[in-house]
Amino acid sequence: MRSGVIYSLCVLLLAAPVASQGQTPGEVLQQSDKVRNPGVPFKVRTELTEFRSGKAHEQARMVTFSKLDPNTGQYRNLARYVEPARDAGKALLMKDSVMWFYDPASKASVRISPQQRLVGQASNGDVMSTNLSRDYSARLATEETVKDADGAARDTWKLELEASTAAAVYLRIEYWIEKKTYHPVKGRFFADSGRLLKIAFYRSFSNQLGGLRPTEVVILDEIDRSVVTRMRFSDYESFEVPERWYQRDYLPLLPAE
């Protein structure tokens, strides 16, 4: 999988409006957010699989409920574990830049970090719907052709994203967006120390809730390069999430399916 990835060294350009379309980098990022995230409250099933040296090592399934907060422009998220059996009933709540984890074994809810790993290099924050344009400032680094996860050439804008709020999961992201579709193609995610943590590729776009969206994300671990994590999203469903669900005390009551 790694052999098909092309790394490009480019001179960084301070960007005003994106050439030819008159948009700022921030506006381009907003359009890409709309590709990743439905514009209605929704429910989706998420499957995470960690591969080590090419072999499936660990897997988890969860159901996620997401709803845009009109006051902040950011998503509120709930996730409930379905599998493996040892984790069934565990739940996550992400609201107002705070994340809570509920464990039915201890019947306790504790505050955790969105950066904490879930499966492989997929973190708690990665499985939640987010508008990157709300938590990051964007500038155009360059325009370049890169290969996607399937080896196809994509004409893209490469954006440099810098964390601008405390809710940002990563300090910095390098993000490639296809020009003609605003589809996210690739991302490089960095820790607070500046170290590259992982590279993500967005693929398997299909029509879900009114738009073509990536239903699979492949994550290459840059700390342990034998590890690849795959996230798959399926069964998108418009779902009006009740406000009472977005309370820490409601986590034990979340439906499993």
Q: Which two tokens stand for residue 15?
A: 């960007």
Distance (Å, whole) CA 141 – CA 67: 32
Tens-place pLDDT, residues 85-94: 999 999 999 9
Is the entire prediction scored with pTM above 0.75?
yes
Q: What domains does the chain contain, in order, with CATH numbers?
A: 16-253 (2.50.20.10)
The 3-state DSSP class for residue 183 equals coil
pLDDT at 166: 85
Distance (Å, whole) CA 124 – CA 116: 6
Distance (Å, whole) CA 158 – CA 6: 14
Tens-place pLDDT, residues 7-44: 332 323 333 456 446 899 999 999 999 999 999 999 99
The 3-state DSSP class for residue 68 equals strand
